[in-house]
């Protein structure tokens, strides 16, 4: 076999590099993406955690991607209108959804939903977590969770709790809490958290679970007292609130229920686009200025996660809410 010349060696090496380039998986985003403004749909009213996260992160994305990012609130039907709109959109990465816990709760509550959150969407990033906190009026005669539970047990059927509506995270969190402790308490559903919180402040109901983001202004103003957060770790936004797990109530030793906010797109978005969006957003979440802005808005960031990890989380979360609804015997609507 004749010795290989320098020229023939370089020709062979170039061929190998070319073939490797052709066969290697493409990790860069689709050429020209984004080619137009990006729409992020928030399926709940302005001020909701998904809306707040969408606006702050949308502004950041716009600066990084070089295209406008528009946030639009498409509300109604417990988030199903906006969510369904995104499910029917073109999977080109220009229409996204900033959704929340309601999307994994809905299958446990409604008989018919016009989409499947697990199969009709492309998960991109779980953005934030929303710890739940047990609230009582400021003049309630107890400051400790143990004292509150003792009072409920001494007066079975005499306490009522508020929720933001049947089948909401407030309802299911309360149901899980009451089931753990075998407490007999009446549910009073409202049309959203604001009205429920107003009646709790006025003493028409005795307690309520709500997201820290919604509850914090009323806690800081002294109108409501936080008895416990449904978390295994203290919550930075409520540094003086104990966790339910740290109480002496052994049935609550592992009690942890939190909502979440996450970015998704319609099914079929190229992996290169979802991975790029994930990477850009996670880079932003490491930025001290953006972290501070999100924190000041009441957003608690989720741990770093990939699209695949977010997808796995969605499956687990949907199953968890289904188990809670079944145990609480909540009928489907």
pLDDT of residue 182: 94
Three-state SS for the chain is: CCCCCHHHHHHHHHHHHHHHHHHCCCCCCCCCCCCCCEEEEECCCCCCHHHHHHHHHHHHHHHHHCCCEEEEECCCHHHHHHHHHHHCCCCCCCEEEEEECHHHHHHHHCCCCCCCCCCCEEEEEEEEEEEEEEEEECCCCCCCHHHHHHHHHHCCCCCEEEECCCCCHHHHHHHHHHHHHCCCCEEEECCCHHHHHHHHHHCCCCEEEEEHHHHHHHHHCCCEEEEEECCCCCCCCCCCCCEHHHCCCHHHCCCCCEEEEEEEEECCCCHHHHHHHHHHHHHHHCCHHHHHHHHHCCCEECCCCCHHHHHHHHHHHHHHHHHHHHHCCCCCC
Which class would CATH give 38-129+259-327?
alpha beta
**Which pLDDT value is given to residue 213?**
84
Q: Which residue has the higher pLDDT, 64 or 18?
A: 64
| Each residue's pLDDT tens digit, 219-257 | 999 999 999 999 998 888 898 899 999 999 999 999 999
Tell me if 38-129+259-327 shares its fold with 131-258.
Answer: yes
CATH class of 131-258: alpha beta
* Residue ranges per structural domain of the chain: 38-129+259-327, 131-258
pTM: 0.84
Over the stretch 2-36, which tens digit does the pLDDT of each residue have?
Answer: 444 444 444 444 444 444 433 433 445 567 899 99
């Amino acid at each position: 076999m004749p010795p290989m010349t320098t020229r023939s060696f370089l020709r062979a090496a170039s061929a190998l590099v070319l073939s490797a380039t052709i066969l290697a998986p493409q990790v860069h985003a689709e050429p020209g993406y984004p080619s137009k403004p990006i729409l992020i749909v928030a399926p709940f009213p302005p001020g909701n955690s998904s809306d707040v996260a969408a606006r702050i992160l949308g502004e950041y994305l716009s600066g990084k991607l070089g295209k406008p990012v528009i946030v639009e609130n498409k509300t109604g039907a417990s988030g199903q209108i906006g969510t369904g709109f995104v499910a029917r959109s073109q999977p080109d990465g220009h229409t996204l959804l900033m959704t929340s816990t309601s999307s994994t709760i809905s299958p446990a509550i409604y008989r018919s939903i016009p989409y499947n959150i697990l199969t009709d969407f492309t998960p991109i990033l779980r953005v934030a977590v929303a710890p739940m906190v047990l609230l009582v009026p400021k003049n309630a005669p107890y400051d400790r969770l143990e004292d509150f539970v003792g009072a409920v047990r001494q007066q079975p059927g005499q306490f009522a709790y508020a929720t933001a509506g049947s089948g909401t995270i407030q309802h299911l969190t309360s149901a899980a809490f009451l089931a753990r402790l075998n407490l007999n308490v009446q549910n009073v559903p409202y049309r959203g958290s604001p009205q429920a919180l107003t009646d709790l402040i006025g003493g028409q109901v005795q307690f309520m679970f709500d997201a820290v983001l919604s509850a914090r202004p009323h806690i800081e103003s002294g109108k409501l007292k936080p008895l416990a957060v449904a978390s295994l770790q203290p919550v930075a936004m409520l540094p003086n609130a104990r966790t339910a797990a740290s109480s002496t109530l052994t049935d609550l030793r592992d009690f942890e229920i939190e909502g979440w906010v996450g970015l998704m797109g319609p099914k079929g978005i190229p992996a290169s686009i979802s991975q790029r969006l994930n990477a850009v957003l996670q880079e932003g979440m490491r930025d001290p200025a953006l972290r501070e802005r999100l924190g000041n808005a009441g957003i608690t960031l989720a741990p770093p996660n990939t699209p695949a990890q977010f997808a796995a989380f969605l499956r687990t979360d949907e199953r968890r809410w289904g188990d809670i609804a079944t145990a609480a015997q909540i009928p489907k609507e």
